[in-house]
Structure 1
């Protein structure tokens, strides 16, 4: 009897293993990719994703092998998928088509995008190269008189409605515009990524978060021609830590409310990070025509090295500074704390809190801040307009009124 029970137990285990086969791999080489970097491998990626997404397994892996280069045209990887977890493992190099003409009659704003995929994990030891110079050379920002100049260019990686996903251990360079966009997503984590583009490359934000919640960005090195990280409208519970930012425009909340939109950005924590040679450090920027709130923000344990504007709130943000007329509207900025901030400023005004006369900033606190000039013996100043708050142990000060 005992032998029979033992046999039934073993048969049960075998049955369970058969019903739970584990992980299936989908290697792009098996779908016809050449990996030589000169012929279009897009269809191989599409086919590998298609089969991985519909696989009858708990987990599926799309494999981009090391030692090869894959040329891709604009692609959208759609979900939802059948596996509970999708791994997209990039060990090789992925490059964009060198010609903007590849995007003819397509969405100019994207190159590689994932949409509506739950528990997607994109990672690997590889490289993603957006070949952005071909777009920067025709940017209307730098070449306004050029025939056919463009104000819109592709984002290298988009995650659209991708909940509980991750992006990690990958290098991303030379995006035509923003490098990584996280939009309409929840519970998404970014860790240990390197993002680089030249300091003069236009609009090349490192990571932009829009309309997303419970997002973590950690342990990453980002240097671009725009914000290292920017936080857009309708985003909350954002935790950013251990970032090396520079060059670039710093870590920014905003710009917000450009078209008179309602804004709600709250519970933002930016900490344990450094800024080197950036135009800004800890920044909040809103348009006067916007409405709504930015609230419950903490900038903590930050180090600045030769930064133009280490601490800045610009509630009167304008494309061309000084040309926008004063408005009676504005985005309310409240409950913002700056704690333990140190380093050097390359301009005379190290703390610049420029708030609206009609919608002033309130609940702003400055605590334990030590900023000095990069010029030996040069004193710095702080500028606070229409701001209510407190400060303790701040140099330069005094700035806030109780």
Structure 2
């Protein structure tokens, strides 16, 4: 079997399913590529890559990236039969077949150097000959109570079964926001007949060994997914969207939790793509696409002069586009405690206003926040392999407390350039103790 590796490029990959049949993309007569993660699949010799890019809520572009390739014919497989790439447009029918509009194979030329799209094919979730309506299933209609004491597990399961079994193109399971539901450990299992599952907002409270996967969240008035008081929590393959101008619409917020993994997820909102609150330990965030939004933030921590305890936060392989911030740590004055062993690695930013930020003077009040002596101690922080462009001239801001300075801050192989002045990118920092290694631009001369 041919093995394929994974790399990050500016593109999004999506698993496409129609009528329970997974799309398989095959290159020539090699092994099938199963589209399962937000990554780009690369050929063994790295001569080409393939991936899916969402173009709307119900359709995707298939893309082929080629670099100095020899002649290659791209072959598709939507069922058990090989299909040559013979179309500029094709539809994915509900039986898994690819329907193409002409009969000419697509061959990549020897001298083709295409860093972006070479071939684009539009794939829709269901066949073009079928039209379905929308259905809604409210858990209250299935005898859920929502008082926080009554066991509503059966009602939720029955509502899910109806939602999953609906013949509509999009069916919604409604959980009212003004109630608290007690649901015992259960599995909302597919495959489902509808081709999309939509969630507006979800709060998971004190759940252990939990998986949330394959959902789409849209337009929540507050945080889309809140993980609170949980241990052993895995998040994968989510798609979270909200208007760029909507405040407090964090994608995912983690608080008072341990051993959490957030992977292979696309987030674009009006606030933090992912935010880490107080009392958290061992959080892994990787293979995330973020934008628009406020980046990935540890904090804000210590509001109300609380004692903070945050450690082992590791963020890696993140793509950020047009965000306000990139990799950020933010704490309020007057608090105590610590935030330590935090790493941001292998992150690419494009047109990000503040790519790297540590701010111990964070204040989102309309009134000016008075200076306080106490502060959360930020220590053992690593920014490594961060590359890309800054929307502002200052690409790195390390603003630490005079009385409780940041310690053990390490920057390694960082290359950030301002869009407006690539050769004159700036750094702003105060009260920071640490070092650099490898190539670091802009130069961090203010580290002690």
TM-score, normalization by structure 1:
0.70
Which position in structure 2 is the counterpart of 1:184? 229
Residues 33-62 of structure 1 deviation map (CA, whole Å, 9 limit, x = unaligned):
xx965785532272895337899xxxxx85
CA drift of 1:73 comes to: 2.6
CA drift of 1:401 comes to: 2.6
- 1:43 partner SS: helix
Partner Cα distance (2:339, 2:293) in 1 = 23
Does the alignment pair 1:64 with 2:170? no
- 1:303 partner SS: strand
Partner Cα distance (2:157, 2:396) in 1 = 54
Which position in structure 2 is the counterpart of 1:42? 140
The 8 Å contact of residues 281 and 312 in structure 2, kept in 1 or not, is answered as yes
Does the alignment pair 1:352 with 2:422? no
The 8 Å contact of residues 221 and 244 in structure 1, kept in 2 or not, is answered as yes
Partner Cα distance (1:214, 1:345) in 2 = 32
Which position in structure 1 is the counterpart of 2:47? none
Which position in structure 1 is the counterpart of 2:372? 327
Q: CA 1:274 to 1:321, structure 2 compared with 1: closer, same or farther past 3 Å? A: farther
Residues 300-327 of structure 1 deviation map (CA, whole Å, 9 limit, x = unaligned):
0000000000000000001148821211
Which position in structure 1 is the counterpart of 2:180? 76
Q: CA 1:70 to 1:169, structure 2 compared with 1: closer, same or farther past 3 Å? A: closer
Partner Cα distance (2:140, 2:376) in 1 = 44
Structure holding more helix per residue: 1
Which position in structure 2 is the counterpart of 1:24? none
Partner Cα distance (1:36, 1:274) in 2 = 34
Q: CA 1:36 to 1:222, structure 2 compared with 1: closer, same or farther past 3 Å? A: closer
State which drifts further: 305-314 or 63-72: 63-72
The 8 Å contact of residues 395 and 425 in structure 2, kept in 1 or not, is answered as yes
Aligned with 2:197 (options 122, 126, 136): 126
Does the alignment pair 1:51 with 2:149? no
Which position in structure 2 is the counterpart of 1:161? 206
Which position in structure 1 is the counterpart of 2:50? none
Q: CA 1:92 to 1:176, structure 2 compared with 1: closer, same or farther past 3 Å? A: farther
Q: CA 1:187 to 1:72, structure 2 compared with 1: closer, same or farther past 3 Å? A: closer
The 8 Å contact of residues 63 and 90 in structure 1, kept in 2 or not, is answered as no
Which position in structure 1 is the counterpart of 2:96? none
- 2:444 partner SS: coil
CA drift of 1:78 comes to: 1.2
CA drift of 1:297 comes to: 0.5
Q: CA 1:45 to 1:197, structure 2 compared with 1: closer, same or farther past 3 Å? A: farther
The 8 Å contact of residues 339 and 376 in structure 2, kept in 1 or not, is answered as yes
Aligned with 1:267 (options 312, 329, 340): 312
State which drifts further: 36-45 or 333-342: 36-45
The 8 Å contact of residues 143 and 155 in structure 2, kept in 1 or not, is answered as no
Partner Cα distance (2:176, 2:241) in 1 = 21
- Structure 1 gaps, min length 5: 1-34, 56-60, 94-123, 131-155
Partner Cα distance (2:193, 2:406) in 1 = 48
Which position in structure 1 is the counterpart of 2:436? 391
Which position in structure 2 is the counterpart of 1:304? 349
Root-mean-square deviation (CA), in Å?
2.7
Within 5 Å, which residues of 2 pair with 1:12-23?
none
- 1:288 partner SS: coil
Aligned with 1:235 (options 274, 277, 280): 280
Does the alignment pair 1:292 with 2:345? no
Partner Cα distance (1:361, 1:373) in 2 = 25
Partner Cα distance (1:189, 1:174) in 2 = 22
Within 5 Å, which residues of 2 pair with 1:332-343?
332-343=377-388
How many residues are matched?
305
